[in-house]
Structure 1
Amino acid sequence: MAGGFGAGKTTFVGAVSEINPLRTEALMTTAAVGVDRTEAVPGKSSTTVAMDFGRLTLADDLVLYVFGTPGQHRFWFMWDDLVCGAVAAIVLVDTRRLADCFAPIDFFESRGLPFLVAINQFQDTHQHAPDQVREALKIPAAVQIISCDARSPESTKRTLIAAAEHALAELHAPHQRKA
């Protein structure tokens, strides 16, 4: 899972994981001033510095391992390792900062990794329709866009299931995937 700084990735992994998630959170220091855009996430005092990891068992023979990437550009050097072996990806969107989603979308598209876009429904913010987000991010019609609440175990589970179903559909239609 990828998305901008403060989009809710750590919260999502924590909500959906059946195990205590592995988190690599560190307190933000003054070194982050001017680098990390915190104005849209007031009160945020920590950030992911490597990854978040959780697990969800959907059936006896189907276990999803969930990795959340750091949202800042300076941690991109590890993204290829984090997506190695991935079946699908989720781009978690904070509509207050849509521009933060272009790079993760480009990353997954360039690797031919099936992904969907999940609009995180933050409390007390204007809710945008999926079609509005699709138009703003110039996302092709083949990419599914759904709404989710990163705090809700049921909502995050539905999002992961949608990503898995999307990956299976892509697997059965390989001629449509980008090389």
Structure 2
Amino acid sequence: MDFKASDAIPGPRAEDRLPHTAQAAAKIVIVGGFGVGKTTMVGAVSEIRPLTTEETMTQAGIGVDDNYGSDTKTATTVAMDFGRIRITDQVVLYLFGTPGQERFWFLWNGLFEGALGAVVLVDTRRLEVSYDVMGQLEERGVPFVVAVNSFPDGPRYPVEDLREALDLTPEIPIVECDVRRRASSRDVLLTLMRFLHSMALSGSLV
């Protein structure tokens, strides 16, 4: 069969190729409840075109999915989001955003496998949806930091009040962020890497 030139499969963009200086890579998962900003964070911070598996929300999700504060949301992640960012010229992070609805949590097993650490995105309007998420990470032994996504109508709480409400130990970092801003999302990832480094130095990261 003859193929026209236009039928050729396009190769990766130059900016999507892994930098030749990269010497180490780590898998990081971005987790949280439905609509907390996981897809937005991956898209904002990724240096490559992010891979998303969003599908249009349908009437079937009514009464099943928790869509509080997401009345204008028309699509939802059903498998994962994927992106990549260089923290330094030598260190590359592969980012995997998880689906938020509980009915898709069976996919988390594969996404958590091999993860060095995680970011738990929190919406202060519904802190309770974070409990099971953090429980899943603790059960699997995946270290994490908590990032409070700043929604315009979300209440603000002192860090220590949040730590108590989320039942977090003193060493787990809590940071505020705006996942729409690349710099803010990158700062969250840097916080996670510093936390993991401190765990490695103390011998608590295995």
TM-score, normalised to structure 2, is 0.82
State the 1:9 CA deviation: 0.4
What amino acid sits opposite 2:67 in the alignment? T
What amino acid sits opposite 1:70 in the alignment? P
Q: Structure 1: which 5+ runs fail to align?
A: none
Counterpart of 2:174? 145
State the 1:59 CA deviation: 1.9
Q: Deviations over 1:80-114 (max 9, x none)?
A: 21122111101000111111100111111112211
Q: Distance in 1 between matches of 2:158 and 2:43?
A: 25
Does residue 1:44 correspond to 2:73, yes or no?
yes
The number of residue pairs the alignment matches comes to: 177
Q: Deviations over 1:60-87 (max 9, x none)?
A: 2200111110001111111121122111
Does residue 1:85 correspond to 2:106, yes or no?
no
Which of 136, 142, 165 is the aligned partner of 1:136? Answer: 165
Does residue 1:66 correspond to 2:95, yes or no?
yes
State the 1:162 CA deviation: 0.7
Asked whether the 8 Å contact 2:123–2:154 carries over to 1, the reply is: no
Does residue 1:17 correspond to 2:46, yes or no?
yes
Does residue 1:119 correspond to 2:148, yes or no?
yes
SS of corresponding position for 1:23: coil
Q: Distance in 1 between matches of 2:158 and 2:149?
A: 11
Asked whether the 8 Å contact 2:66–2:101 carries over to 1, the reply is: no
Does residue 1:31 correspond to 2:60, yes or no?
yes
SS of corresponding position for 1:170: helix
SS of corresponding position for 1:91: strand
Segment drifting more, 43-52 vs 124-133: 124-133
SS of corresponding position for 2:127: helix
SS of corresponding position for 1:92: strand
Q: Percent identity?
A: 46
Q: Structure 2: which 5+ runs fail to align?
A: 1-29
Segment drifting more, 48-57 vs 164-173: 164-173
SS of corresponding position for 2:80: strand
What amino acid sits opposite 1:88 in the alignment? G
Q: Deviations over 1:27-80 (max 9, x none)?
A: 011110001122321211111000011100122220011111000111111112
Counterpart of 2:34? 5
What amino acid sits opposite 2:94 in the alignment? Y
What amino acid sits opposite 1:83 in the alignment? F
